[in-house]
Amino acid sequence: MSGTAKISAAPTSLPAGAIAASLRNACVKFGSFTAIDGISIDIEEGQFYTILGPSGCGKSTMLRLVSDLIPAASGDVTIFGKSTEEARLAREFAFVFQDATLLPWRSALKNVELPLEIGRRRGVPIPVGDKTPRELLDLVGLSGREDALPHELSGGMRQRVAIARALVCHPKLLLMDEPFGALDEMTRDHLNLQLLRIWKETGVTILFVTHSIPEAVFLGQKVLMLQAHPGRLREVVDIDLPSPRTIEQRDTPEFTRYSAYLRKLLETC
Amino acid sequence: MTAVDNIPTAEEPIGSERMEARRTRSVAIAIPVMTAAALIALWQIGVKLFDVPTYIAPAPSDIAYTLVDKFPILLMNFWPTFYESVLGFFVGNIAAILIAVAFVHSRMVERAFFPIAVFINTIPILAIAPILVLIFGPGLTAKVVIAALICFFPTLVNMVRGLQAVSPQALELARILSASKAEIFWKIRLPSSLPFLFSALKIAATTCVIGAIVGEWVGADVGLGALIIDATFNFNSPLLYATVFMSSGLSVVLFATVSTIERLVVRW
Q: What's the pLDDT tens digit per position in A34-60?
A: 899 999 999 999 999 999 999 888 899
Q: What's the pLDDT tens digit per position in A225-245?
A: 999 888 889 999 999 988 888
Total domain count, chain A: 1
Q: What's the pLDDT tens digit per position in A142-183?
A: 999 999 999 999 999 999 999 999 999 999 999 999 999 888
Locate the chain B residue with the closest alpha carbon to A94: B176
Instruction: Assess if residue A242 is contained within a domain.
Output: yes
pLDDT value at A8 more than 80: no
- Whose CA is closest to A240, among A252, A250, A255, A225? A255
* Residue A86 identity: E
Whether residue A78 contacts residue A65, with contact meaning beta carbons closer than 8 Å, is answered with no
Q: What's the pLDDT tens digit per position in A54-77?
A: 988 889 999 999 999 999 999 999
pLDDT value at A117 more than 50: yes
pLDDT band of B14, cuts 50, 70, 90: low
B130 lies within 8 A of chain A by CB = no
Can you tell me whether residue B196 is helix, strand or coil? helix
B10 lies within 8 A of chain A by CB = no
pLDDT at site B10 = 46
With an 8 Å Cβ cutoff, are A115 and B177 in contact? yes
Q: Which CATH number fits the domain that encloses residue A33?
A: 3.40.50.300
pLDDT value at B15 more than 60: yes
Spatial neighbors of B235 by CB under 8 A, at least 6 apart, are: B55
Whether residue B247 contacts residue B75, with contact meaning beta carbons closer than 8 Å, is answered with no
A124 lies within 8 A of chain B by CB = yes
Instruction: Assess if residue A5 is contained within a domain.
Output: no
Instruction: Assess if residue A193 is contained within a domain.
Output: no
pTM of the model: 0.82
Domain limits for position A82: 17-92+173-180+213-269
pLDDT at site B199 = 95
Instruction: Assess if residue A248 is contained within a domain.
Output: yes
Instruction: Assess if residue A126 is contained within a domain.
Output: no
ipTM: 0.87
A107 lies within 8 A of chain B by CB = no
pLDDT value at A7 more than 90: no
Paired sense of beta strands A93-96 and A173-177, if any? parallel
Instruction: Assess if residue A59 is contained within a domain.
Output: yes
Count CB atoms within 10 A of the CB of residue B217.
16
Chain A residues within an 8 Å CB radius of B6: 145, 154, 157
Q: What's the pLDDT tens digit per position in B197-233?
A: 999 999 999 999 999 999 999 888 899 999 999 999 9
Provide the mean pLDDT of chain A: 89
Q: What's the pLDDT tens digit per position in B84-131?
A: 999 999 999 999 999 999 999 898 999 999 899 889 889 898 899 999
Locate the chain B residue with the closest alpha carbon to A122: B180
Q: What's the pLDDT tens digit per position in A205-223?
A: 999 999 999 999 999 999 9
Instruction: Assess if residue A154 is contained within a domain.
Output: no
What distance in Å separates the CA atoms of residue B25 and residue B164, rounded to the nearest whole number? 37
pLDDT value at B12 more than 80: no
With an 8 Å Cβ cutoff, are B188 and A103 in contact? yes
A193 lies within 8 A of chain B by CB = yes
Concatenated DSSP letters of B5-64: --PPPPPPS-HHHHHHHHHHHHHHHHHHHHHHHHHHHHHHHHHHHTT--TTTS--HHHHH
Whether residue B93 contacts residue B150, with contact meaning beta carbons closer than 8 Å, is answered with no
pLDDT at site A217 = 94
Please return the burial class of B50, using the count of CB atoms within 10 Å of its CB with bins 0-12, 13-18 and 19+.
exposed
Chain B residues within an 8 Å CB radius of A122: 180
pLDDT value at B54 more than 70: yes
Q: Would you tell me which residues 169-188 of chain B have a C-beta closer than 8 angstroms to some C-beta of chain A?
A: 169-170, 172-180, 183, 187-188
pLDDT band of B11, cuts 50, 70, 90: very low
With an 8 Å Cβ cutoff, are B177 and A190 in contact? no
pLDDT at site A5 = 38
- The shortest CB-CB distance from B178 to any of A89, A151, A194 is to A89
CA B133 to chain CA centroid, Å, is 23
pLDDT value at A17 more than 90: no
pLDDT at site B22 = 82
Instruction: Assess if residue A224 is contained within a domain.
Output: yes
For residue B192, give how far its alpha carbon lies from the nearest alpha carbon of chain A (Å). 8
